[in-house]
Amino acid sequence: MNTPIININGVSKSFGTVPVLKNLSFEVAPGEKLALIGPSGSGKTTILRILMTLETINAGIIHIDGEPLWHMLKDGELISADEAHLHKMRAKIGMVFQLFNLFPHKTVLENVALAPILTKGLTKSQANIKAMELLEMVGMSDKAKNKPAQLSGGQKQRAAIARALALQPKIMLFDEVTSALDPELVEEVLNVMHKLAKETDMTMLLVTHEMSFARDFADRVMFFDGGKIVEAGPPDQIFSNPKEERTQAFLRKVIAAGHRV
């Protein structure tokens, strides 16, 4: 295995007195597509938010691309990271959220072009050219001049994916990106993500309840429950022949609810 691009070692996280992650350790290889599944409240989204530095950790250490995320070296010792270090580390990671988070007063093109102008020093013209390429990639170039209010939910989410890609992250995080969409709009977003998975070498972490998509998308699936990894393995093994009773029970419930695996 190559040097992991993500290394999570002994990480714990609580909200108040409620533990959400419990001494969690796992690695992600460069370019790996990893799906995180499990019941609500099992800690999946918290992992993504910690990687995006939206939530702190209570214990453990995380390395991204060989560098500590929440810590930094000073005089040979690890100390808590300052804002400058966190800002540098964030540049390696993009995240697409459930609820799009587009700027409502800006056009789709402006939403995608803004961050490269602010953080990478691109001119407006350079950023717009790159933004149009990305909008073309996600099938949204014809909506470049529209405001978010003029878009469907699926179109908003595809614009949000293009915006996350604009900073050329090494790692992309997807947090339940179809959960806020009407069922008929889900497929257009999943198709874009499938294209990304097949055509890029980005490392991708996906939290989803779309089991059939997770099976098709992922190199590896992790089933979480109670802030711990219950079972991990290739998609066919997890979905067709899970070893753990807790995984089996979860998948039975998912199938009973009408979801395909």
Structural domain includes residue 59:
no
Look at residue 125 and tell me if it is in a domain: yes
Residue 81 lies in a domain: no
In the chain, beta strands by DSSP E: 6-15, 18-28, 33-37, 59-64, 67-68, 71-74, 77-80, 93-96, 171-175, 203-207, 220-225, 228-233
**Residue of 136, 126, 181, 122 whose CA lies nearest to 157:** 181
The answer to the question of residue 152 being in a domain is yes
Retrieve residue 245's tokens: 């009773």
How far is Cα 138 from Cα 192, in angstroms, rounded to an integer? 6
* Contact by Cβ (8 Å): 111, 103: yes
In a domain, 111, yes or no: yes
Query: Which residue range forms the structural domain that includes residue 181?
Result: 33-52+93-256
Q: What is the pLDDT of residues 199-254, one digit of tens each?
A: 888 999 999 888 888 888 899 999 999 999 999 999 999 999 999 999 999 999 88
Task: Give the pLDDT confidence of 164-209 residue by residue, as tens digits.
Answer: 999 889 999 999 888 777 777 788 888 888 888 888 889 999 998 8
Domain presence at residue 12: no
For residues 105 and 103, give the distance between their C-alpha atoms in angstroms, rounded to a whole number.
Answer: 6
Give the tokens for residue 243. 């070893």
Residue 194 forms part of a structural domain: yes
Would you say residue 221 lies in a domain?
A: yes
Q: How many domains does the chain have?
A: 1
CATH code of residue 250: 3.40.50.300
